[in-house]
Amino acid sequence: MAPHTFDEYLAAYGRADGGYPVIDLDADDLQRHTVILTFAGGAKKAIVQFLGLAAHDDGEHLCIDVHAFVDGLLARSSVFGMENGRRYEGFPETAPGRSHGWPAVRGVSLLIGAQVDIGTQPDPRS
């Protein structure tokens, strides 16, 4: 059975030692909170910015922006959604839910890695 709560998710997929960094954003502080993540010896990086939006309004929510870099260069990233083992690409209107009126799923995966330009623009690393 798929996890439905925060605790169930961590029990199923989390670290056994429960050692996680926790970022607690105060809704009164609407500034960007920035975290830098690195992978593969630092070749792949992401700047992750957390923003609390519409504080104290009915539409209050957390926005997470991700900016990808590969080998020090600004990179593209792709995203897809997952729910109940099904992949949703581009969050089509057939996605099983909505968040703030937009098609939504319970899980989001962001892929940062090899870069390929489509069209006439040359790859700046060539």
pLDDT digits (tens, 9 = 90+) for 59-106: 677 778 888 888 888 888 778 888 888 888 877 777 888 887 888 888
- In order of 20, 47, 80, 94, the CA distances from 14 in angstroms are 9, 23, 21, 29
Residue 54 lies in a domain: yes
Domain range for 70 is 23-111
Residue 46 lies in a domain: yes
CA distance 47 to 80: 19
**Confidence class for position 29, pLDDT limits 50, 70, 90:** low
CA distance 16 to 19: 8
Task: Report pTM.
Answer: 0.66
The CB density around residue 15, as the number of other CB atoms within 10 Å, is 8
Residue 17 lies in a domain: no
The pair of structure tokens assigned to 59 is 């539409």
Residue 116 lies in a domain: no
For the chain, what is the domain count? Answer: 1
Mean pLDDT of the chain: 78
Residue 123 lies in a domain: no
